[in-house]
Amino acid sequence: MSIREELRCLAEEAQRAISQSSSLQELNEARVKFLGRKGQLTAILKSLGKLPLSERPTVGYLANEIRETLEESIVSREKELKKELLQKKLEAEKVDITLPGKRPCVGRKHLLTQVIEEIIRIFMGLGYSVVEGPEVELDYYNFEALNTPPDHPARSLQATLYVKTAHEPKSSREEVLLRTHTSPVQIRVMERMKPPLYVVSPGRTYRRDVADPTHSPMFHQVEGFAVDKRITFGDLKGTLEVFAREMFGKDRKVRLRPHFFPFTEPSAEVDVSCIVCDGRGCRICKYSGWLEILGAGMIDPNVFNVVGYDPEKVTGFAFGMGVERIAMLKYGVNDIRLFFENDLRFLGQF
Amino acid sequence: MRVSLNWLKECVEFDLSPEELAERLNLTGTAVEGIEYLGKDLQKVVVGQIKKIKQHPNADYLKVCSVDIRDKELQIVCGAKNMKEGDKVPVALVGAKLPSGLEIKRAIIKGVASEGMMCSESELKIGEDASGLLILDESAEVGEDLAKVLGLEDAVLELEITPNRPDCLGVIGIAREVAAIVGSELKKPKIKLKEVDRSIHQATRVDVLDGDLCPRYAARIIDDITIAPSPLWMKRRLQAAGFRAINNVVDITNYVMLETGQPLHAFDFDRLNEGRIMVRTAHLGETIVTLDGVFRQLDETTLVIADAKEPIALAGVMGGAHSEVSEGTTTILLESANFNPRSIMRTSRKLGLITESSNRFEKGLDPNGPVYAADRAAQLMQELAGGKVFKGVIDVYPKPKRVLSLTLRPQRVNDILGTNLLPKQITQILESLELKVSQLPTRNSQLEVHVPTFRTDLEQEIDLIEEVARLYGYNRIQSTLPESGGKRGGLNLNQRISLCIKDILVSCGLWEVITFSFIGPQQFDKLMLPADSALREAITLRNPLSEEQSIMRTTLLPGLLEVLRYNAHRNRYNVQIFEVGHIFHSRPGEILPHEPVMVAAALTGSWRDNEWHERAKLLDFFDAKGIIETLFDQLGIEDWHLNRTIRPFFHPGRGSEVFIKGEMVGILGEIHPHVQEAFELPNPVTIFELEEAKLVKYASLLRHFEEIPKYPGVTLDIALVVDEVISNEEVYKIIHRWGGRLLGEIHLFDLYRGGQIPRGKKSLAYSLTFRADDRTLTEDEAKKALERIIARLKKELGARIRA
Ligand SMILES: [Zn+2]
């Protein structure tokens, strides 16, 4: 066999080995076998010296050509094999996508906090500031300055939680108690600051109520008030309508009903059309189509006199709402005690 | 208060359905809490006339009756004995459903067919008499619906009367409101009284010894009374109002109270010592047995009605048993008085006795009301109890209450309400409420308003403005927003930081809880606080609901631990929570306590249960510390550290105090196993409690951009073996000090004990990153810096470097 034929046979054999190699290892073996330093092609090239000088270039050229072709084949075969390999690997890496995900641990704010923040957000948009007041309060701020008569039932030991003081109070106004509403903040702010005032005040409040599905000895209120020149009852109405629609949805109807509070006049209770039945009547709204959400009114001139404002120069309105009540209505919570039991199964729902 | 519409219609004309009227009342300030439709339980109950009564063939105690119900005659088997042929009785037809739930069906009773049921009062729940059939008046039309015949085709409005409107505690008061709402006239019942010649002044005398507590006392005497049941119409109305019918005299006093709002009391005149009345405060040691049969001891603050000898009634609250009207009563003294509201309230509260009467008096009634009410009652006693009314009224009323006159500025009305009402409109509204309005001649368009004395709530101009507003209609007032609103507002820095704190804790995986501000002293025992602990110095409630809610909390910890306990009892052992809330400490020289806001958290169990990819890992001190690190980092709080501390409720080796810039701001630690046990918790708990104001003080929400390193750093690891007592902080400080300017981050990546590490020693492994601002650092430079550090660690801490 001539050396040319030998080369051609080798090329064919090598080509076959390369294309038939089924793994990178086999491919490598083939390369070593044919193209390695001790490989067959090298061996042939080494025997090139035995050829007549005239043949050497053409045969050398042929050998190089074969080498290049084989190397190219090896590279492309390697690519193919790697691709197959990856394919197999990826196939083996298939996961059961129905396994549960790995959740990050996040907590959440208490529902009441969420509701308070929402209320405050709405009033901040209307230009209100937030001011808080003490929870342990003087009778003066909680009752007297708010025009509450001395024998008012709310002042009784059955209704209000009183605090033991080191010295016997000299008068009922010096009694210390757990505030029964957030309204004392009105007085404290007005004593300290001059109008115009646009203030909301959230916080804890207390009454001597035994806990049941609708009562809790501790609950939350948000008080709001505006004192300025030329504040009118119409402004109160407009403000509360904005609030109610932001809080309960823009389709809510709002109505004010005359009511009585000692420290506002005229006073009103404020209803929104029932969010459950949309006003048609259901169990939640006691078939009236309306849900009471807050109490409000024009600040009584007596209250202005108490803080040294001239009721002829400024007017104002005030409103107060129970946070639990709003949360219960908005989220359908049916027992006020749930807010303070802090069962994770409850907290987790909101 | 419950008001029958039929009754109301006698006093005012209106053409509104119960729902429409309720709506109008609601929108003018008389809240309607419900509408009850009477007679709706009496469908298919009609008037029947008994035509024939025969003995039941198979039972001695039963009768078989033929009953005419107009279009046919029914055969009904009946066990009652009080009927005779010709009587008209209620007949429940087949298909009727009685108030008791009983459904009337065709039946065979002892072999005889029965097609309905004749009923007693009690079976129809329209009265209490169960002794026999209800025998109806002869005038009742056969076949007519019973409800119609008995005046039960009526609706009752349940009204909420606000405490400022005692004038609405009677049908006439409500009728006055309705008249103003619908624009019709109030028709007060006219008094038609025939007095006999004998004068009351010859029969009795009244002495009011305490005119402050009893501004007015009016009395009438009626004799020849025959005590009997009241007529059906009156019983019905009392029943509709929620009252039990008793006898004609007592019913009339209740009826007139419901009509006029003025409580009345009838004494059995013959039972009064010397037949006279004294209104005075009780003498010490005096007693009375009240109508409810309770023996009561009186004191000198209690106003009583007495005869010549002893108290016969608690004035305005309840009568005495001794002078109670009974079957044998023939002569009564009718009291119609006005009492001081505060005095009535005190007595009622002190004795724990709240009655219809006390409830009205304590709201303050019109002193000009009693005589009309007395005359009205006398008239009814004359008509319904055959009484003879003595001539005249005793009326002790030394200081008559005058009509109040107020000035009202129409401009002020519009300024307050945001309306454009004309003086004429305002006048019209006020006049509809029986206020008299006249134009003041001197001033421009000011109005003078005379307020009748029954409107005790109208004392100032603003009160009149409210009347105008509510009758004009809140819904007709234009909604606006304050002219100058929206210029200020928003949160201040403290409030923003406070909000931030909650946001950060929530993002750390904690759930916010809200617990009661009051706790019980036993919580301090559970925390193992010694008797002299400052935390035990709590504000105490004077009238707590219970021992468990008797003091104001001085720490948030018990509340949080209680939440863990509550959830553990419900098999939730992985709980990570926080609360932000006030604690309370008394301040020397101050009446009101200090109320700092605390930020506290408690972590127990693991973040999650065993998972398919990860085993559960119990949380410990360092999980809580990590949250504080994150919190401080986010708040921009720098220069803080922990100091070891011993607290009774902490694990002795795992408690710390948190300091920022040298100021103690709170505590962090694992709770003592005993405390854990006291709160019935299966796993260790780590808590922290920080004072919010101090966090706010050191927090900074301002941030400055720092150049991001341009050149790569070189990271080298070292592992040291040191004595157990040497803290990470000590090592860290040396590395930091000797690392020089090139040292960037120091990261502890391993802590190891045991194995090749000798007892009493531990291995700490750090990776240190060196970096230069102006060039790429070579490994040699970094190694040189590391050598320096290692030399110091060896020298100062006796550290050995592990290969
Ligand atoms: Zn509804």
B446-463: pLDDT as tens digits: 999 999 999 999 999 999
What residues contact A191, with CB distance under 8 A and at least 6 apart? A307, A308
What residues contact B291, with CB distance under 8 A and at least 6 apart? B318, B319, B320, B321, B324
CB atoms within 10 A of CB B615: 8
Which parts of chain A are beta strand (E)?
129-130, 136-138, 176-178, 197-206, 218-228, 254-261, 264-273, 290-299, 315-322
What residues contact B297, with CB distance under 8 A and at least 6 apart? B285, B286, B287
CA–CA distance, A160 with A144 (Å, rounded to integer): 14
Residue contact B474–A100, C-beta within 8 A: no
Token pair 């009326």: residue: B395
Closest CA–CA distance from residue A150 to any residue of chain B (Å) = 9
Choosing among B345, B480, B518, B566, which should be mutated to test the A contact, i.e. which has the most A CBs within 10 A?
A: B480
* Closest chain B residue to the Cα of A168, Cα to Cα: B591
* Coil vs helix vs strand at A203: strand
Question: Can you read off the two tokens belonging to residue B36?
Answer: 């009850």
- On whether the CB atoms of residues A329 and A206 are closer than 8 A, the answer is no
pLDDT in tens, B159-201: 999 989 999 999 999 999 999 999 999 999 999 999 999 999 9
Q: How confident is the model at residue B789 (pLDDT cuts 50, 70, 90)?
A: very high
Closest CA–CA distance from residue A239 to any residue of chain B (Å) = 6
* pLDDT attached to residue B487: 63
Average pLDDT over all residues of chain A: 92
* pLDDT attached to residue B20: 94
pLDDT at A17 over 70: yes
CA–CA distance, A234 with B418 (Å, rounded to integer): 5
CA–CA distance, B617 with B627 (Å, rounded to integer): 17
Given CB atoms, is A195 within the 8 Å cutoff of chain B?
no
Q: For A327, phi and psi rounded to 5 degrees? A: -65, -40
DSSP B692-749: HHHHHHH--------PPP-S--EEEEEEEEEETTS-HHHHHHHHHHHS-TTEEEEEEE
Amino acid identity at B511: W
pLDDT at A306 over 80: yes
Q: How confident is the model at residue B600 (pLDDT cuts 50, 70, 90)?
A: very high
Q: Which among B424, B452, B422, B457 is positioned nearest to B438, based on CA atoms?
A: B424
CA–CA distance, B336 with B365 (Å, rounded to integer): 12
Question: Can you read off the two tokens belonging to residue B673?
Answer: 């196993």
DSSP run (H or E) holding B412: helix B410-417
Nearest to A134 among B484, B570, B595 (CB): B595
The stretch B343-358 carries a mean pLDDT of: 92
Q: How confident is the model at residue B488 (pLDDT cuts 50, 70, 90)?
A: low
pLDDT at B62 over 70: yes
* Coil vs helix vs strand at B560: helix
CB atoms within 10 A of CB B227: 18
DSSP A74-105: HHHHHHHHHHHHHHHHHHHT---TTSPP----
* pLDDT attached to residue B803: 65
Vertex B796 angle, CA B794 and B798, to 5°: 45
- On whether the CB atoms of residues B320 and B289 are closer than 8 A, the answer is yes
Q: How many residues does chain A have?
A: 350
Q: How confident is the model at residue B129 (pLDDT cuts 50, 70, 90)?
A: confident
Closest CA–CA distance from residue A127 to any residue of chain B (Å) = 4
* pLDDT attached to residue B443: 61
Q: Which of B315-329, B428-442, B619-633 shows the lowest mean pLDDT across its residues?
A: B428-442
ipTM: 0.89
pLDDT in tens, B379-408: 999 999 999 999 999 999 999 999 999 999
pLDDT at A43 over 90: no
Q: Say how many CB pairs under 8 Å bridge A and B.
A: 252
Give the rounded percent of residues in chain B with a pLDDT score beyond 90: 82
pLDDT at B48 over 80: yes
* pLDDT attached to residue A35: 87
pLDDT in tens, B229-277: 998 889 889 988 999 999 999 999 999 999 999 999 999 999 999 999 9
Residue contact B516–A218, C-beta within 8 A: yes
* pLDDT attached to residue B364: 92
Average pLDDT over all residues of chain B: 93
Q: Which chain A residues are Cβ-neighbours of B692 within 8 angstroms?
A: none
Nearest to B509 among A105, A109, A256 (CB): A105
pLDDT at B775 over 80: yes
- Which one has a higher pLDDT value, B79 or B603? B603
The stretch B130-150 carries a mean pLDDT of: 87
3-state class percentages of chain B: helix first, strand second, coil last, to nearest 5: 30, 30, 45
CA–CA distance, B513 with A350 (Å, rounded to integer): 12
CA–CA distance, A285 with A291 (Å, rounded to integer): 6
Nearest to A204 among B345, B517, B544 (CB): B517
pLDDT at B485 over 80: no
pLDDT at B534 over 60: yes
Closest CA–CA distance from residue B261 to any residue of chain A (Å) = 20
CB atoms within 10 A of CB A283: 8
Choosing among B19, B433, B466, which should be mutated to test the A contact, i.e. which has the most A CBs within 10 A?
A: B466
pLDDT at B442 over 70: no
* Closest chain A residue to the Cα of B341, Cα to Cα: A151
Q: Left (φ > 0), alpha (ψ -120 to 50) or beta: where does B483 sit?
A: alpha
Question: Can you read off the two tokens belonging to residue B664?
Answer: 């103690």
Residue contact B482–A198, C-beta within 8 A: yes
pLDDT at B486 over 60: no
Question: Can you read off the two tokens belonging to residue A216?
Answer: 């809790």
- Which one has a higher pLDDT value, A56 or A159? A159
Token pair 């709160």: residue: B679
Vertex A236 angle, CA A234 and A242, to 5°: 105
Give the rounded percent of residues in chain A with a pLDDT score beyond 70: 100
- Which one has a higher pLDDT value, B543 or B588? B543
- On whether the CB atoms of residues B218 and B337 are closer than 8 A, the answer is yes
Cα B67 versus chain centre, distance: 54
The stretch A213-217 carries a mean pLDDT of: 95
Cα-trace Rg, chain B: 42
